[in-house]
Structure 1
Amino acid sequence: MPERASDRLSRLLGLVPFLTRRPGTTLEELAARFQVSEEQIVDDLELLFVTGRPGHLPDDLIEAEWSDGRVYVDNADEVSVPVRLSPHEATSLRLALEHLAPGTAAAPETVAAVRDKLTRAAVSAAGDPGAGGFLDLAPPTIEPRLGAVLSAALRDGTALRLQYYVPSRDELTVRTVTPHRLRLGRTWYLDAHCHSSGGERSFAVERIRSADPVPAPPDAEAPDQGPQQVRSEGRKAHLRLVLRPEAAWLADELAASAPDCGLTHDAAGPGTVAVDLPGAGWDWARRLLTAYGRGVMRAEPPELAAEAAAAAEEALRLYGG
């Protein structure tokens, strides 16, 4: 695959400062340092002969010499300073660190040191380091005690007994799982083998109410049965929503928490999403419609939509009063 121009430019911007500080580095060492062939390094050095200040006179161009296998550069003052992170790059790396920190095995002091360096780099790149500044980051997080339990289970390969809330059914379930990994989407997810349901499942970490290690995973249990589960009483409904484009994100949230959720994209025009939730709790569905009704084009069953509309009108009346 041909090399991208941006990749080569990044290497050239690193190559000149590296040689300025380490004159006489061999072609072999440079190839290993920048993870390319010696032929590519020679090609880069030949490009330096036509690189330099505007004007393109001999004294404006970078000079390079490697006749004895050792490389020297001269007349490269303008690009002899190592490349600094831009504010966007430093902030992106800091955000990535915050995303990964809950699921990493790195020592907390190491994460804290990297966080501090990236913060100072972002603030410095944005302007005068002495002027102060801050990064406004709000990545998804995992509650520390829960994060420690999940990390230990992932590290040791042990099983966990979870109390897990399923909002689409308004139920608190108890499941025995063997975790595989923590994965970041809109929020954190725990991918695991669920022994209670007998298959691979993804659990939104924010809906895990408790997690306790168990000595060994038992044989597959009957799914969602027994006194360990707290079920909401009341009616159930096959809930069908057609979401407007601006509320399409809600479909992903519902699908992540309900394995039996069905999605149909562009159901009522570009960007719309139809969501089918069989067996949704009636009270939960009414609360969902009351909270997000502005983004819903259609809702079934009609009597459920009517109850949600009445609840919203009553709330507005109380606010008005």
Structure 2
Amino acid sequence: VYDKPSNYSTQGTDNGSYPEAFQLTDKLLFDGKISVKNGQFEFSFVVPKDISPDYGFGKISYYALDTMHMVDAWGAYENLVVGGMDTNTAPDNVGPVIDIYLEDKTFTSGDATSNSPLLLTDISDDQGISFTGLSLGRDIVMVIDGDYTNSMIMNAYFNIDTDSYKSGSITHQLSKLNTGWHTLSIKAWDLHNNSSEAEVEFYIDEDSDVQLSGVLNYPNPFSNTTKFDFRHNKSNSQLNVEIRIFDINGRYITSISKQLRTIGFNIDPIEWDGRDSNGNKIAPGVYMYNIMVTDSYGSTATQKQKFIKIN
């Protein structure tokens, strides 16, 4: 949704030229995604506080995609009246809620990350988020290590939630950072010109050995299939995983080998059908398993656990 056209003029600096006035519809008020049901849709949004109160015609641009048949459509409406001011709006002096994560949403401030962590940020405010660049200085801004001279405007990375003007998220891969402690802050504004800022600390140690935590299988006990899961400290890495399974007396049952390309510190669980190396279903009882994880540098971590097979 666009505001009224803005007035501009060419500079007229070339020989034989002169300034020429023109209008351009370039002030974006809202950019969102709406669900279409049975060919119909509706949406609402908050108009930014900084628009000119003068009345004029704005513009709505539409683009739609039928994801079942991959047929698209587009159109525009150019008689939208924009202007004035709502004097009954309740006062609001609270900025957006900002939640920052690195690698995945299990991150907490102070965790270790890779040297190129994935930034995940959730931003919400009942008055909407300023991300269209309409107002000078009302952008979403990221700052690393307090270096404001190299701050980064994140408007283009902000994806507003479908059927909402109140919330959205940022997903952005950070470039390679040096080993050591770092800070990252995000500042955002709502459409009533209230700002908030959130900051996290994180530590990068690319040379550290592989570390495992949360090693388990589920369900446990199980009857037919189970899944092995764990957390690690090697985001954006190639990991070789070997799971060796033994009965309670230490006799070998089978092995499961996987190569994983990690994103974040969690893995896609590794499923096992409860069969031995000969393809036979194992008998009910208590079993042990040994998970060994090796990174591309040869660092290896090992943990042992038990499970129960029933039926």
TM-score by length of 2: 0.20
Q: Which has the higher contact order (CA 8 A, sep 6+)?
A: 2
The structure with the greater share of residues assigned to helix is: 1
Q: Which has the larger radius of gyration?
A: 1
The structure with the greater share of residues assigned to strand is: 2
TM-score by length of 1: 0.19
